[in-house]
Structure formats: structure tokens, C-alpha cells
Amino acid sequence: MASADPAAPPRILFNYLTHPDDMVEWRRALRLTREVLAQPALDAYRGEEVSPGAQAATDAELDAFVRAQAESAYHPCGTCAMGSPDDPLAVVSPAGEVFGVEALRVADASIMPRITNGNLNAPTIMLAEKLADAVRGRAPLPRPEGPLAEVGAGEGGRQRLGPPARAVAG
Ligand SMILES: Cc1cc2nc3c(=O)[nH]c(=O)nc-3n(C[C@H](O)[C@H](O)[C@H](O)COP(=O)(O)OP(=O)(O)OC[C@H]3O[C@@H](n4cnc5c(N)ncnc54)[C@H](O)[C@@H]3O)c2cc1C
């Protein structure tokens, strides 16, 4: 909040690209994209790299491109993450109850403990439905039958780490 005046607009500071991990992730993403597009299956379709361009190869060159061109995709979330009471970063319980305040819950994208890999709208509706059930004392829906999509083992759905499987320029 910018002031004690409830009508005053909030001060929003995203801190984009301020943590060292931000640039590490961006470099990995760019290099992984190049690796994917360098695969033989795409030989017939690939043209010259348009952006950032093959001349951008070093960490510093990739960082300069990211700082100049990166944009938000309108998916800010997780400013008051859910978690256990002993988690110093958790603001609300798994039922959306604000720690230290009685009779106050949060049920929106702000309580997502991690930024989702995909768009926010569907998971926001899902968590709101589940918290509405919790408020009303309804039993959670049963787990669906049948196979579920699985993320990569041990990677938590993140892109894999390590060197490219097939060398690419730069
Ligand atoms: C331009 C844009 C495009 C997007 N495109 C997609 C997309 O294609 N697919 C996708 O999945 N996600 C998309 N998103 C993200 C998605 O829309 C949001 O992440 C999601 O709506 C967040 O839900 P929320 O309930 O947390 O917040 P919101 O949807 O912002 O809901 C907050 C609500 O609180 C109300 N409110 C605010 N202050 C008060 C107050 N004082 N009193 C009462 N009510 C108040 C607001 O009017 C609003 O209705 C997009 C977002 C943007 C900005």
C-alpha cells in the first residue's frame, strides 16, 4: 500500500529481472528454444533466427536482449502464497485463511504458492471452487478416474537442466 488512505491506488512493483535466478532461467529458456529448433526434424522448415539473432550467444548478449525485449504475459500471481503455518513466506493456510487474522480468507490468484506454467484463469477458478467448498463444509470432489498427464520426473514441470542434448551455435 502506498498510504493509509484506502482510496489511494496501490503501489505495484513487480521486481522483474531483479533476482539472479531470473536471468539464469531466461538464458536456459533461450538456449533450450534454440536446441529444440536445431533438431533434424525441423531442418526443412528452419530459417535464420530472427530474434535475438544468432549473433547473441554469450550470457551478456542474451541478458541484454532479455532486458530490452522481455514482456509480462499478464499472469501476476502469488503475492500472498498459501502454505503451512511454519512457512515464513506463507500468508494463508491451504484453506485460504489469513494467518493471524480471524474470519478473513483470500480466494484468488494471489494465493498460488508458485507461478503456474500455463494460463491463470482456469487454475484461479479451480482454487476458488475448492475454497468455496471448504467454506461451505462440502467434501472435495473425488479424484477423477483414468490417467492424468504427468510432468517430467523430478523436475516439477520445469524445463530440464543441464547442457543441450544436441549442440547449437553459440
Ligand atoms: C490482458 C489480460 C489478458 C489475460 N488473458 C488470459 C488468458 O487468455 N487466459 C488465462 O487463463 N488468463 C488470462 N489472464 C489472467 C487472468 O485473467 C487473471 O490471472 C485472473 O483473472 C485472476 O483472477 P483473480 O480472481 O485473482 O483476479 P481478478 O480477475 O482481477 O478479480 C478481482 C476482482 O476483484 C474486484 N475488486 C477489486 N477491488 C475491489 C473492491 N475493493 N471491492 C470489491 N471488488 C473489488 C475486481 O473488480 C475484480 O472483479 C489475462 C490477464 C490480463 C490482464
Q: 109: which DSSP letter?
A: G
What are phi and psi for residue 116, nearest 5 degrees?
A: -70, 155
pLDDT value at 167 more than 90: no
| pLDDT classification of 65: cutoffs 50, 70, 90 | very high
Query: Nearest to residue 114, comparing CAs of 101, 127, 105?
Result: 127
Least confident segment among 5-19, 123-137, 139-153: 139-153
The answer to whether residue 19 is catalytic is no
Q: What is the amino acid identity at position 6?
A: P
Full-model pTM:
0.69
Q: Of the residues 27, 28, 31, 75, which is catalytic?
A: 75
> Does residue 109's CB lie within 6 angstroms of at least one atom of ligand 1?
yes
Specify whether the CB–CB gap between 32 and 76 falls below 8 A. no
Distance 10 CA to ligand 1 centre (A): 16
Judged against a pLDDT cut of 70, whether residue 85 lies above it is answered with yes
Q: Residue 115 Cα, ligand 1 centroid: separation in angstroms?
A: 15
As a whole-number percent, the residues of the chain with pLDDT over 90 amount to: 65
Closest ligand 1 atom to 121 CA: 11
Rounded to an integer, the average pLDDT of 137-158 is 70
